[in-house]
Amino acid sequence: DTGVSQDPRHKITKRGQNVTFRCDPISEHNRLYWYRQTLGQGPEFLTYFQNEAQLEKSRLLSDRFSAERPKGSFSTLEIQRTEQGDSAMYLCASNPGRTRYNEQFFGPGTRLTVL
Amino acid sequence: AQSVSQHNHHVILSEAASLELGCNYSYGGTVNLFWYVQYPGQHLQLLLKYFSGDPLVKGIKGFEAEFIKSKFSFNLRKPSVQWSDTAEYFCAAPYHSSGGSYIPTFGRGTSLIVHP
């Protein structure tokens, strides 16, 4: 399968713990996006990367959220000191980045449950 | 704030009925619009997109959408739905942020259930 992959698919954690999610984009896709999706809502943009550069992070939900893409390939999203309100599906998407308006290729998501 | 609005949150149809899902966007500049679909247990995937040219866009599985600039709308249509069209449908548009980036913005989605 050469699509976008995310790991883990499910994560259950206790409030106050840190969690880290990984996303592997489609090979040679320069842009990588992170979204959060809650029940009954569409994907909510969090941040994105062009290669290793994080170009937009103003939409990260709080300073507890951070993302990296150190070598321009896979990316990680970390949530520190998790809260129950962080429970959601976290989606990753990628695209070639050749134009500003490329479609998004989505991964299966990581479902986070904070107890 | 720039936004994408989907008016129908839940739609229930019988097979062979016609479908129209509404989508309105709040941006007056260059417009690029998308419809995505998420079938049960599957990833979000592109259904169709509008960049320029013919305002009637055809996508996969017999879906089409019409861009009407004067109404800021991009409604999704299908003349005759099938049970396999049961899914969540999301309208999306990229918006230009103050930082110079294009931020993909999605509507809240429409849940379509098609009864056989």
Site of tokens 């941040």: A47
Nearest CA in chain A to B90: A42
* Mean residue pLDDT across chain B: 91
pLDDT digits (tens, 9 = 90+) for A15-49: 999 999 999 999 989 999 999 999 989 999 999 99
Contact by Cβ (8 Å): B20, B108 = no
- 3-state SS of A69-107? CCCCCCEEEEECCCCHHHCEEEEEEEECCCCCCCCCEEC
Q: Do the chains contact at B94 and A45, CB–CB below 8 Å?
A: no
Of B44, B101, B108, nearest to A40 by CB-CB distance is B108
Q: Do the chains contact at A43 and B90, CB–CB below 8 Å?
A: yes
Burial of A65-75, coded b for 16+ CB within 10 Å and e otherwise, reads bebebeeeebb
Q: Between residues 67 and 86 of chain A, which touch chain B (CB distance below 8 Å)?
A: none
Query: Is B60 touching A (CB cutoff 8 A)?
Result: no
Q: Do the chains contact at B107 and A3, CB–CB below 8 Å?
A: no
pLDDT digits (tens, 9 = 90+) for A10-20: 999 999 999 99
Q: What percent of chain A shows pLDDT beyond 90?
A: 78
Of B49, B90, B103, nearest to A103 by CB-CB distance is B49
pLDDT digits (tens, 9 = 90+) for B80-97: 999 999 999 999 988 877
Alpha-carbon span B38 to B111, nearest angstrom: 10
pLDDT digits (tens, 9 = 90+) for B93-112: 888 777 677 788 999 999 99
pLDDT digits (tens, 9 = 90+) for B35-63: 999 999 999 999 999 988 899 999 999 99
The one-letter code for the residue type at B99 is G
Of A41, A103, A107, nearest to B43 by CB-CB distance is A107
Beta carbon pairs, A and B, within 8 Å: 58
Q: Do the chains contact at A91 and B44, CB–CB below 8 Å?
A: yes
Cα–Cα distance list, B86 to A102, B14, B115, B116 (Å): 26, 11, 9, 10
The pLDDT-based confidence of A60 (bands split at 50, 70, 90) is: confident
Alpha-carbon span A36 to A104, nearest angstrom: 14
Instruction: Assess whether pLDDT exceeds 80 at residue B6.
Output: yes
Nearest CA in chain A to B101: A56
Query: Is B9 touching A (CB cutoff 8 A)?
Result: yes
